[in-house]
């Protein structure tokens, strides 16, 4: 399976206290007025990338203890996102973080069952807090067992 990806990076900031392999998806249909990543709104700002190549890159990176998805809007490529998350859980067994402009309540269980940390909601400049998350309307959900906490 293939999807559109802009870049991957080893990050010390996307998941606080963790080293993450962060994957930036291209394309975003949410289009927040104050978005800092407008150049990623079009799907073709990324390159068609195979799930196999992403999985191989993650496996080769022995430093990481998390995989993080961001963009753009990862959930706009839902089928690809779920496919990769399933493979990470089955083949690599690392926890997964998701940054999304959508609200937690609209995310399918098929996806949230595979994720451990979700930072959700659109960025709003008038609610900017300059921390994590970036604006105060955004919510952070963490999973303990089967239970989500916000």
Q: Which residues bind ligand SF4 (CB under 6 A)?
A: 28, 30-32, 35, 37, 71-73, 101, 122-123
CA distance 28 to 123: 13
Residue by residue, what is the 3-state secondary structure of 42-73?
A: CHHHCEEEEHHHHHHHHHHCCCCCEEEEECCC
Least Å from the CB of residue 28 to ligand SF4: 3
Least Å from the CB of residue 118 to ligand SF4: 13
Least Å from the CB of residue 77 to ligand SF4: 13
CA distance 137 to 117: 17
Nearer to ligand SF4, 89 or 124 (CB): 124
Nearer to ligand SF4, 9 or 90 (CB): 9
Nearer to ligand SF4, 46 or 72 (CB): 72
Least Å from the CB of residue 50 to ligand SF4: 23
Nearer to ligand SF4, 73 or 116 (CB): 73
Distance of alpha carbon 121 from the chain centroid: 12
Dihedral in degrees, nearest 10, Cα atoms 88, 89, 92, 95: 90
């Amino acid at each position: 399976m293939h999807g559109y990806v802009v870049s991957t990076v080893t990050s010390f900031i996307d998941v606080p206290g963790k080293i993450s392999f962060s994957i930036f998806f291209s394309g975003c249909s949410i289009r927040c007025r104050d978005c800092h990543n407008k150049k990623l709104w079009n799907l073709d700002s990324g390159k068609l990338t195979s799930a196999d190549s992403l999985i191989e890159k993650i496996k080769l990176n022995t430093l990481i203890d998390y995989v993080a998805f961001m963009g753009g809007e990862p959930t706009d490529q839902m089928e690809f996102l779920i496919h990769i998350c399933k493979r990470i859980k089955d083949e690599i067994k690392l926890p997964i973080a998701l940054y999304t402009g959508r609200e937690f309540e609209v995310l399918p269980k098929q996806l949230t069952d595979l994720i451990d940390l979700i930072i959700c909601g659109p960025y709003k400049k008038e609610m900017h807090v300059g921390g994590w998350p970036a604006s105060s309307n955004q919510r952070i959900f963490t999973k303990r067992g089967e239970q989500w906490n916000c």
